[in-house]
């Protein structure tokens, strides 16, 4: 039986009034974080009623509710006004959805695509305003980057360039490092690191002048040793370290740098199963015979099935990533890191705080669980049959950026 419902009720009225005001101002969202905070406040209310006198309980509950709503509130945002933003990789996925959202908010959007007649480019033309400009760019081609730099300088004379969103990324192979041609590592580095480096350096004079923002889409694979994603992961690790360096060096200029590390979402590259099948067949066709004998075709087929299974669990709603990019562009004090996606908090906790053996097992269970290579299976020749260095596997053509 409650002894003093009024002080408790008064605290809840205060919390409810502030929550309603924040919702009306769009400073707060209905969702799991808010529901979790309310559940914790209810538990605190129950505890306070049994341990504290009424005045103290009222003060504790009201203060806890105020702090919780303050933490859940969106940080102050800058007005859109006439801000211009360049976004790379708008053919599909995060880039396309971010371009559409920024255009609807009133931004001047410069959206780069690999092909001007791709389905994503045609969709942007059809649904966006005349402010949005489509630019063709392949990040592996310096001439394309130079053309985009010149266009951006010429078309942001009046507005200035407020933000650069380095979204374009590429992965060509899912396989053990030993099975992955070095050429594929170079391709990932060309797109995910060197192309980003060249474009960002070229736009720095504009961004320094506007005291603007740099937002780069990274990947948890750049922080953790995801099985079979070494080529992609090392390129993402390199670009994140580059952005951290920019973040330190650009402080005197007022340029803020953020990295978005999304979980697994259903972007164009994730849903294109046929393309991953072609890449697997290309890998098998170019694999040296000695490696194929040691690992076995069944081993690579197993990796491929495990990878496709993990992609089938990808999240279809891309809005958490789009919201993170927009916050990094407009928040008065943007975060250095954003982690949109389900389960990322648990993954990073395991990665940083649990023993290495548990980290490895978790990533294998979550992503790809290896089977024994052919040479290590009972009844097969041992792995010492191959002598000397392996011949260099053939490289495969780049499919998309």
Residue 191's domain is classified under what CATH number? 3.40.50.720
Q: Can you tell me the mean pLDDT for 316-324?
A: 94
Domain final position from 52, 72, 92: 72
What does DSSP assign to residue 28?
S
Within this chain, do residues 33 and 133 fall inside the same structural domain, yes or no? no
98 and 66 share a domain? no
Pair (93, 42) in one structural domain: no
User: Residue 201: pLDDT above 60?
Assistant: yes
Percent of the chain clearing pLDDT 90 (strictly above)? 57
The verdict on residue 350 lying in a domain is no
CA torsion sign for 172, 176, 180, 185 is positive
11 within some domain: yes
- Dig out the tokens for 259 from the structure: 């990295």
Query: Do 135 and 43 belong together in one domain?
Result: no
What Rg value do the Cα atoms of the chain yield, rounded?
25
Q: Is 232 noted as a catalytic residue in this protein?
A: yes
- Full-model pTM: 0.80
173's CB contacts (< 8 A; 6+ apart) are 180, 181, 184, 231, 279, 283
* Claim to verify: residue 100 and residue 30 sit in the same structural domain: no
Please tell me what DSSP assigns to residue 91.
T
For residue 370, tell me if it sits in a domain: no
Of 255 and 307, which is predicted with more confidence? 255
- Boundary-marking domain end, from 37, 72, 107: 72
DSSP codes, 251-299: GGGT-EEEEE----B--HHHH-HHHHHHHHHHHHHHS-HHHHHHH-HHH
Structural domain that includes position 241: 84-269+313-341
Q: How far apart are CA 301 and CA 179, in angstroms?
A: 13
Measured CA distances, 383 to 295, 373, 378, 389 (Å): 9, 9, 12, 14
pLDDT at 26: 64
Same domain flag for 100 and 16: no
Give residues with Cβ within 8 angstroms of 270, minimum separation 6: 264, 311, 314
Q: 3-class SS at 368?
A: coil
Task: Tell me, yes or no, whether 215 lies in a domain.
Answer: yes
Q: Do 118 and 193 belong to one domain? A: yes
Percent of the chain past pLDDT 70, that is, above it, reads: 92
Integer Cα distance of 315 and 127 in angstroms: 24
Residue 315 backbone dihedrals phi, psi, to 5 degrees = -80, 130
Q: How many CA atoms lie within 13 A of 231 on its CB side?
A: 24
Residue 111 in 3-state DSSP?
strand
Which residues touch 164 (CB under 8 Å, ≥6 apart)?
Answer: 85, 86, 199, 200, 203, 207, 212, 213, 214, 215
Q: Are residues 235 and 327 in the same domain?
A: yes
Angle at 55 between CA 54 and CA 59, to 5 degrees: 115
Give the pLDDT of residue 161. 97
Residue 322 to residue 391: CA distance in whole angstroms = 44
Q: Do residues 100 and 239 both lie within one domain?
A: yes
Q: Is there a domain that residue 369 lies in?
A: no
141 within a domain of the structure (yes/no): yes
Token duo for residue 206: 């504009």
Cα–Cα distance, 389 to 40 (Å, whole number):
60
Q: State which of 299, 325, 341 marks the end of a domain.
A: 341
pLDDT tens figures, 2-38: 444 445 677 778 888 877 887 776 667 777 788 888 8
Domain for residue 391, yes or no?
Answer: no
| Residue 258, pLDDT above cutoff 80 | yes
Do 169 and 130 share a structural domain?
Answer: yes
User: Over the chain, what is the mean pLDDT?
Assistant: 87
Catalytic residue among 232, 295, 299, 338: 232
d(CA 339, CA 344): 7
Statement to judge: residues 211 and 100 lie in one domain: yes
Copy the structure tokens of residue 126.
């059809």
Closest CA to 348 of 363, 361, 328, 334: 363
Question: What angle (nearest 5°) sits at the alpha carbon of residue 122, between those of residues 119 and 127?
Answer: 120
For 135-162, what is the HEC assignment? EECCCCCHHHHHHHHHHHHHHCCCCCCC
Q: What is the pLDDT of residue 14?
A: 81
The number of distinct structural domains making up the chain is 2
Please write the tens of the pLDDT for every residue from 107-122. Answer: 999 999 999 999 999 9
Express each pLDDT in 48-65 by its tens digit: 888 888 888 788 888 888
Please indicate, yes or no, whether residues 68 and 99 belong to a single structural domain of this protein. no
- The answer to whether residue 348 is domain-embedded is no
């Amino acid at each position: 039986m409650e002894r003093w419902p009024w002080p408790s009720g008064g605290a809840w009225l205060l919390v409810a009034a502030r929550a309603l005001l924040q919702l009306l101002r769009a400073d707060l969202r209905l969702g799991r974080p808010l529901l979790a905070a309310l559940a914790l406040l209810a538990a605190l209310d129950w505890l306070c009623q049994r341990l504290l006198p009424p005045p103290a309980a009222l003060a504790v509950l009201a203060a806890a509710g105020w702090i919780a709503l303050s933490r859940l509130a969106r940080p102050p945002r800058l007005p859109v006004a006439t801000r211009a933003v360049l976004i790379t990789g708008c053919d599909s996925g995060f880039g396309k959805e971010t371009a559409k959202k920024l255009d609807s908010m009133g931004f001047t959007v410069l959206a780069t695509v690999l092909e001007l007649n791709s389905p994503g480019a045609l969709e942007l033309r059809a649904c966006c305003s005349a402010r949005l400009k489509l630019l063709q760019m392949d990040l592996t081609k310096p001439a394309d980057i130079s053309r985009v730099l010149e266009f951006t300088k010429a078309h942001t004379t009046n507005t200035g360039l407020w933000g650069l969103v380095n979204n374009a990324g590429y992965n060509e192979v899912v396989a053990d490092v030993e099975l992955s041609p070095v050429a594929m590592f170079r391709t990932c580095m060309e797109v995910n690191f060197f192309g980003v480096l060249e474009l960002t350096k070229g736009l720095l004079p504009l961004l320094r002048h506007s005291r603007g923002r740099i937002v780069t889409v990274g990947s948890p694979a750049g922080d953790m040793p995801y099985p079979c994603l070494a080529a992609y992961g090392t390129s993402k690790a390199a670009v994140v370290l580059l952005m951290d360096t920019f973040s330190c060096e650009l402080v005197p200029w007022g340029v803020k740098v953020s990295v978005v590390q999304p979980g697994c979402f259903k972007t164009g590259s994730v849903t294109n199963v046929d393309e991953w099948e072609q890449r697997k067949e290309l890998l098998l066709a170019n694999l040296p015979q000695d490696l194929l004998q040691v690992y076995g075709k069944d081993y690579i087929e197993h990796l491929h099935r495990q990878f496709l299974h993990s992609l089938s669990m990808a999240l279809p709603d891309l809005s958490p990533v789009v919201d993170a990019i927009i916050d990094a562009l407009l928040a008065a004090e943007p975060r250095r890191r954003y982690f949109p996606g389900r389960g990322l908090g648990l993954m990073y906790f395991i990665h940083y705080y649990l023993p290495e053996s548990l980290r490895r097992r978790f990533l294998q269970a979550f992503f790809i669980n290896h089977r024994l290579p052919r040479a290590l299976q009972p009844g097969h020749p041992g792995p010492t049959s191959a002598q000397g260095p392996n011949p260099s596997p053939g490289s495969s053509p780049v499919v998309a950026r």
